[in-house]
Amino acid sequence: PTPPYLKWAESLHSLLDDQDGIHLFRTFLKQEECADMLDFWFACSGFRKQEANDGNEKMLKLAKAIYKKYILDNNGIVSRQIKPATKSFIKDCVMKLHIDPAMFDQAQTEIQTMMEENTYPLFLKSDIYLEYT
Amino acid sequence: IDSEDDLLQECISSAMPKKK
């Protein structure tokens, strides 16, 4: 069978589908001071998954927490990678209490594209990954 | 603030793949 670390090189999704892969990628991102991008990506996925079993109040609290931590501060690594229009859309949703499971989807896609084009290829060439393999 | 962070952390963990 293919060892997991070779699968990680196939696509960002194969990497993010493996606990050890996530751990190593996060260590790399931490070095580059952009681990927040990965946390945000997972927070968006988690937010979308919560809809079925959780009440509106919890969703609102969570949406506010994600907004405050990653988007509100324009100097934050995540905020800097998200388009202004996407940010104002999320801000509007939070302010008007329009909480929707898909409200972070566009922002997540933008961060994902950034990782696919930038940090993920760098990770595959990094000492951290090469030493692991 | 703590509970907000906990909520966020719980949300992030819920999206991670389970140990194989």
pLDDT 10s digits, A47-89: 998 865 667 888 999 999 999 999 999 999 999 999 999 999 9
Amino acid A83: pLDDT: 97
Please answer yes or no on whether B16 and A18 come within 8 Å at the CB atom.
Answer: no
Of the candidates A43, A24, A124, which has an alpha carbon nearest to the alpha carbon of residue B6? Answer: A43
For B4, nearest residue in chain A (alpha carbons): A65
Query: CA of A66, closest CA in chain B: separation in Å?
Result: 7
B8–chain A Cβ distance below 8 A for any pair:
yes
Amino acid B1: pLDDT: 54
Amino acid A52: pLDDT: 59
pLDDT 10s digits, A114-127: 999 999 999 999 99
Query: CA of A35, closest CA in chain B: separation in Å?
Result: 13
Tell me which residue in B8, B18, B20 faces A43 most closely, judged by beta carbons: B8
Contact A48, A100 (CB under 8 A): no
> What is the pLDDT confidence band of residue A129, given thresholds at 50, 70 and 90?
very high
A68–chain B Cβ distance below 8 A for any pair:
yes
pLDDT 10s digits, A10-57: 999 999 999 999 999 999 999 999 999 999 999 999 999 886 566 788
Residues in CB range of A22: below 8 A, 6 or more apart: A15, A16, A38, B16, B17
